[in-house]
Structure 1
Amino acid sequence: MPVSASYRPACDHLRLGDAFYDPVAAASFPAHILRFRNQAAAAEIGLDSLTDDEWIAHFGRFVPLPDGLPTPLALRYHGHQFRSYNPELGDGRGFLFAQLRDVRDGRLLDIGTKGSGRTPWSRGADGRLTLKGGVREILATEMLEALGVETSRTLSVIETGENLQRGDEPSPTRSCVLARLSHSHIRIGTFQRLAALDDRASLARLVAYVMDTYFPDRAGAGDAAVALFDIVCARVARMGAQWMGAGFVHGVLNTDNINVTGESFDYGPWRFLPRYDPAFTAAYFDHSGLYAFGRQPEALLWNLARLAECLIPLANVDDLQKIFDDFPDRYGREMNGVIVKRLGLSSLSETDDRALAAETWRFLERSAIGFEFLFFDWYGGTQSRHRAANSPNARLYESADFEPLRQRIEAHSPRPGLDLSDPYFSRTVPCTMLVETVEKIWQPIATRDDWSTLHDTLSTIGDMKAALSPRSA
C-alpha cells in the first residue's frame, strides 16, 4: 500500500463549487530528480511510507493521491499588488493538489504547488519555478519553523530538467516543482474577487465554508462574518509579531499572500535582517520601501482593512470597525509574548513583558548587534550569564546601554523545560540565514551540483529547532 494507515484524504474544497477554481493538468517535465523530501511533514499526513518512485509520481507527475482530489485545482482570487488592484490574479504557476487530515489533531491540510505549469491565470508566464527559488523556499520555511513562526512547510522539491530564462538571476537557470503543506490557501484576495464581482451569495458561502472548515469552534457564532474577521485579525497579528521577532522580511505582502489561517507562505524575495533596521527591504523592486521590515505591521493592517471591506455586505460595520481598531493592541500583546519566548523566558506580567520587549528593541537599535545574536547569547536569561560573558558580543553586554535590558531579562524566570546543555548552545555564534549564507549554499549546487552544504545547513537548523523547543516538564 503506497500510503500509511494514518492517511486520511479529504476533498473539502470541492464543497465550494467550481466558481472558486479551475480544474487543470500539471505540466509534463523532461526529468524528475528528487532533491528534497520532508519526511517529518509527510508523517503528519500519512505519506511517509511512500517510496521515492511513488513520491515522484505524486509530486512530480501529480498522479492523484488515493481517494483525494481527482484533478488539481487552480484557485481563483484577486488582490492588491503593492496597493494596486489586480483582477487578473489566481494560481498562475501552482494549484491545490490534495487535502488531507493531520494525524495529530485532525486539522485539514492542503498540499499546494509552485512551478507545476501554466493555468488559466498564468498571464503569459511559463508557470515554472527556478531551482534556486525552490532551494530558497526550503531554507525560508525550515528556518522560520525553527524560530517558532507559523509557516507553510516545504514538502517536496523535484528538479525537472528544464532551462528557464529569468531577469533576476543568471539564465538559463535550472527548474523545479515544489509542493508545500499549509492549513489553507484561501486568501484575502479570495474574498476580494467575490466582492469585486458583487457575488454576495458566493461570499456568504465562502464565509460559512471557512468557519465550518477551519474554525468549527466558532462556526455557531451569530454573525459569522464578524467572527471570521475577528479570528483572521488575531492570527495575522500573531504572524506579524512572529516575523518581527525573527527579524524576517517577507518582501511581498500583497493581499493574495495573506491567508485566513494566519500562516506565512509564498516565499519570493524574503530576507532576514543582518541587524535591526526598520527600513530594510527584501525585494529589489520595492523602491518605496512599502514592505520594509518596520512597515510590515502597517502592511498587514492595510490588508485586513481590505478584508473588512469585503465583509461589509454580510456584517455590522461597527463590529468590524471595533475589531479593526483593536489590531494595534492585539499585535502589541503578541509582540511582547514573542520577545519573551525568543529570549527563552517565562511571562511575568503584561506590564513587565511590554517593558522587556521595549528594552529589547531599544538595545537592538542602539547597539547594531547582529539581530539573532542577542536572542542566542541570552536565551534562558540568568542561566546564560556565563555564555553571554564569553560571547563575541560580551563588550556590548558590559555597556551602560545594555543595563536596562539586563535588569528586565533577569527579572524574568527562564522558560520551563529549557536545556542549555544542548550542544547547539556550545556554538560561538547562532545559526542565521542571511542572504550571503543563502548564496553560499546555492553556489555549489549551481556550479558542481553539490548539495552537501544545503544538507549540512538543514541539519544545523534542525539542531537549532530542537534546542529552542522546551523539553516536557
Structure 2
Amino acid sequence: MPVSSSYRPDPRFMALGPEFSDPVEPADFPKTLLRRRNDRAAATVGLEALTDAEWVAHFGRFEPLPGNQPRPLAMRYHGHQFRSYNPDLGDGRGFLFAQLREAGADRLLDLATKGSGQTPWSRQGDGRLTLKGGMREILAAGMLEALGVPTSRAFSLIETGEQLARNDEPSPTRSSVLVRLSHSHIRFGTFQRQAYLDRADNVGVLVDHCIDAYFPELAGAADRPVALLEAVVARTARLVSRWMAAGFVHGVLNSDNMVVTGESFDYGPWRFLPRNDPNFTAAYFDHSGLYSFGRQPEAAFWNLQQLAGCLTLVAEHEALIAALNGFGVAYRDELRRSMLMRLGLRGRDADADVDLVNAAFRALQAGGDRLRWEPFFFDWFCGDERRALAGPRGDLYADEGFADFRRLLADFEPHRPERLEHDMFAGPEPEEMLIDEVEALWSAIDADDDWGPLNAKLDRIETARQAWDLG
C-alpha cells in the first residue's frame, strides 16, 4: 500500500495484555460505500496516498495497516453514567484499530471505530452506527476543531448497507461505520474498571502507560500517579473552557466519555448553543439538567474525582486531593484564555482579563433572544467596534446592556488583526452549527441521497477554521 515516509506505526496499547482489551473481528458489511475521507487528517499520519479502494479495505473491512495491530481490540472499561456506576461497559460497537505517530508533533495517535460490529461488551446492542449518527459526528468534530477545541477528528465515514432499528429516531434507518483519529482512548473509566476489580497493580500499569505514551515529560516525576492526575486536571480544565467559549454542550459527560489526554470525542446528542443559556441541555433524556451547558465544569470535576479515587490504590490521598483542588484555578485561567482567544484579543493582566470575560458573558445575556452565541464572537473579533456597530446587530450593541463590555474592550489590543482580512469576515454572518441546519443536512441525504449540502457545509467549516486560525 502507498504510505508516505510520515507513516510510523506504533501499536502500544496491545502490549498491556488481556486485562485491558479483547481481540475482536469486525462486522462483515453487505456494502462499503465511501462517503467521507479526511485527507487533511490522513496526511498527518502518512495515509493520504491511499486509493479509495485501499481506504475502504482498511477502514470499511479493517484489513490491518502495515506494521500495526494484527487484530482490532475492544477496550475494557467501566464508568459512571449519569452518576450511576455501570460495571458492564466496554467498547460495545467500536474498537481500537491502529496506533501511529503524528507527523511533526510526534504524538501517539489512535485510529478507533464506531459502528464496527458486536464485541463481548455489546450487551443487547447490534454494534452498529446509524448513518445520521456518523454524519453528526463529522459535523461536531469539524466545527469544534474550527473553534479551537481539542477534539478527535472524523477520519472516515463508510455507509454499510444495513437497515437499523432505533427507538429514538425513524426506523429502519441507514447504517455506517466511522473511524476517528484521536490522541487517546484511555478513558477515566479505563482506570475505574481496574480499581473496581481491586487491581492496584493494573492501575499502576495504566499510570505508567499513560505517562510513557502521552505525558513523557512526567517520566522523572517522583510521584507518578499524582503527576499524572495533575496533568489530566490541567488538560480537562482546558477542554471544558474551550467548550464553554465555543457554546458547545456535549450532552453525555459520563466518566467513560472523558479521556486522560483532554480531548472531546464520541459525539452523541451534542448541541451548540443558539443563545446564552446555562440551563440548555443537549440530551432529551437529561431530565435533571445534569449535563447542561452551565454545569459542564461541575460534571468534569466530578469525573476527575472518580479518577482520583482510582488512584488512591497507588498514591496518597492528600496529594491526590491537592491535585484535584487545582481544577478550579486552572479552569478559571483557561476560561479567561479561551474567551480572549475567541474574541481575538491579547491578554492584559489577570484582573483586567477576568473583568472583560465577565462583561462578555453579561453582554451575551443582555442580548436575549436577539443575539445568537456565535455571531457575538464573529462581530467583535479582534475588538473591532466599528465593524460590530456597522453590522446587522449594530443597534443591539449600542444598547446600554453592552456599554460595560464596550468600555472594557477599549483597553485591549487585537491579537493578529490581519485575520480580519479573510473573506469570511467580510460577510454579515459567521458559520454556525444549529440543530435545524443539522436536520436539514440529514434530510437531503435521507430523502434524496444528496450529499452536496453536507459537503458544502464541511467546506464552509474548513474555510471558517482557516479564517479563525485559533490553533
Cα distance, 1:214 vs structure 2: 0.6
Q: Which residue of 2 aligns with 1:340?
A: 340
Tell me the distance in 2 between the aligned counterparts of 1:167 and 1:352.
Answer: 50
1:71 is the counterpart of 2:71: yes
Equivalents in 2 of 1:152, 1:397: separation in Å? Answer: 36
Report how far residue 411 of structure 1 moved: 1.2
Counterpart-to-counterpart distance in 2, 1:307 and 1:432: 34
CA contact (8 A) 2:341 2:470 kept: no
C-alpha distance in structure 2 between counterparts of 1:113 and 1:417, whole Å: 39
Deviation of the 1:4 alpha carbon: 1.4
The sequence identity of aligned pairs, in percent, is: 55
Q: Which AA in structure 2 matches 1:79?
A: G
TM-score under structure 1 length normalisation: 0.98
2:170 matched residue in structure 1: 170
Give yes or no for contact 2:160–2:176 (8 Å, CA) kept in 1.
Answer: yes
Q: 1:394: Cα distance to partner?
A: 0.8
How many Å separate the matches in 2 of 1:248 and 1:73?
31
Aligned pairs for 1:75-90 (under 5 A) are 75-90=75-90
Q: Does 1:112 align with 2:121?
A: no
**In the aligned structure 1, how far is the partner of 2:107 from the partner of 2:326?**
28
Q: 1:35 is matched by which residue type in structure 2?
A: R
Q: What's the CA shift string for 1:187-210, capped at 9, x where partnerless? A: 000000000000011111110111
Q: Which moved more, 1:95-104 or 1:410-419?
A: 410-419
Instruction: State the 1:322 CA deviation.
Output: 1.2
1:372 corresponds to = 374
Counterpart in 2 of 1:212?
212
Instruction: Give the partner amino acid of 2:294.
Output: G
Question: Which residue in the other structure is 2:138 paired with?
Answer: 138
- Is the 1:380–1:418 Cα contact (8 Å) retained in structure 2? no
Structure 1 residue 326, shift from structure 2 partner: 2.0
- C-alpha contact 1:26 1:116 (8 A) present in aligned 2: yes
Q: Is the 8 A contact 1:418 1:469 kept in 2?
A: no
Deviation at 1:408, TM superposition (A): 1.9
* SS in structure 1 at match of 2:421: coil
Counterpart in the other structure of 2:464: 464
Alignment of structure 1 residues 194-233 onto 2, 5 Å:
194-233=194-233
The two structures have a TM-score, normalised by structure 2, of 0.98
Secondary structure of the residue aligned to 1:163 is: strand
Counterpart amino acid of residue 380 in structure 2: W
Report the CA distance between 1:417 and its aligned residue: 5.6
Checking the alignment, whether the CA contact within 8 Å between 1:2 and 1:54 is kept in structure 2 is no
Q: Is the 8 A contact 1:36 1:156 kept in 2?
A: yes
Q: For the residues of structure 1 that align with 2:52 and 2:317, how far apart are their CA atoms?
A: 52
- How far, CA to CA, are the matches of 1:262 and 1:38 in structure 2? 22
Q: What amino acid sits opposite 1:236 in the alignment?
A: T
Question: Retained in 1: the 8 A contact 2:366–2:402?
Answer: no
Please tell me the residue identity of whatever aligns with 2:396.
L
Are 2:294 and 1:294 aligned? yes
Distance in 1 (alpha carbons) for counterparts of 2:287 and 2:401: 34
Distance 1:283 1:31 in 2: 31
Moved more, 29-38 or 10-19: 10-19
Aligned to 2:257: 257
How do 1:259-298 and structure 2 match up within 5 A? 259-298=259-298
The CA deviation at 1:470 is 6.6
- What is the root-mean-square deviation of aligned Cα atoms in Å? 1.0
| Inter-partner Cα distance in structure 2 for 1:387 and 1:29 | 53
Q: CA deviation at 1:386?
A: 2.8
- The Cα of 1:236 is off from its aligned counterpart by 0.4
Give the aligned residue type for 1:310.
C
Contact 2:79 2:189 in 1 (8 A): yes
Gaps of 5+ in 1: none
8 A Cα contact 1:248 1:272, kept in partner: yes
Amino acid at match of 1:137: E
SS at structure 1 position matched to 2:381: coil
> Any conservation in 2 of the 1:344–1:418 contact (CA below 8 Å)?
no
**Whole-angstrom CA distance in 2 between matches of 1:445 and 1:377:** 32
Separation in 2 of the partners of 1:462 and 1:242? 18
TM-superposed CA distance for 1:374, in Å, is 1.0
- Corresponding position of 1:306: 306
Q: How many residues align?
A: 469
Range moving further from structure 2, 52-61 or 3-12: 3-12
> Secondary structure of 1:9's match?
coil
Q: Could you tell me which runs of 5 or more consecutive residues in structure 2 were left unpaired when the two chains were aligned.
A: none
- Deviation per CA, 1:415-457: give whole Å up to 9, x if none: 0263212110011111100101101111110000001101111
- The residue type equivalent to 1:142 in the other structure is G
In structure 1, the residue corresponding to 2:410 is in which secondary structure? helix
Deviation per CA, 1:262-318, whole angstroms, max 9, x where unpaired? 000000000000000011000001011100000000000000000010001211211
Alpha-carbon distance between aligned partners in 1 of 2:416 and 2:426, rounded to the nearest angstrom = 20
Distance apart, 1:2 and its partner CA: 2.4
**CA–CA distance in 1 between the matches of 2:414 and 2:2?**
45
Question: What corresponds to 2:193 in structure 1?
Answer: 193
Mean CA deviation greater in 37-46 or 210-219: 210-219
Q: In the alignment, residue 325 of structure 2 is paired with which amino acid? A: D
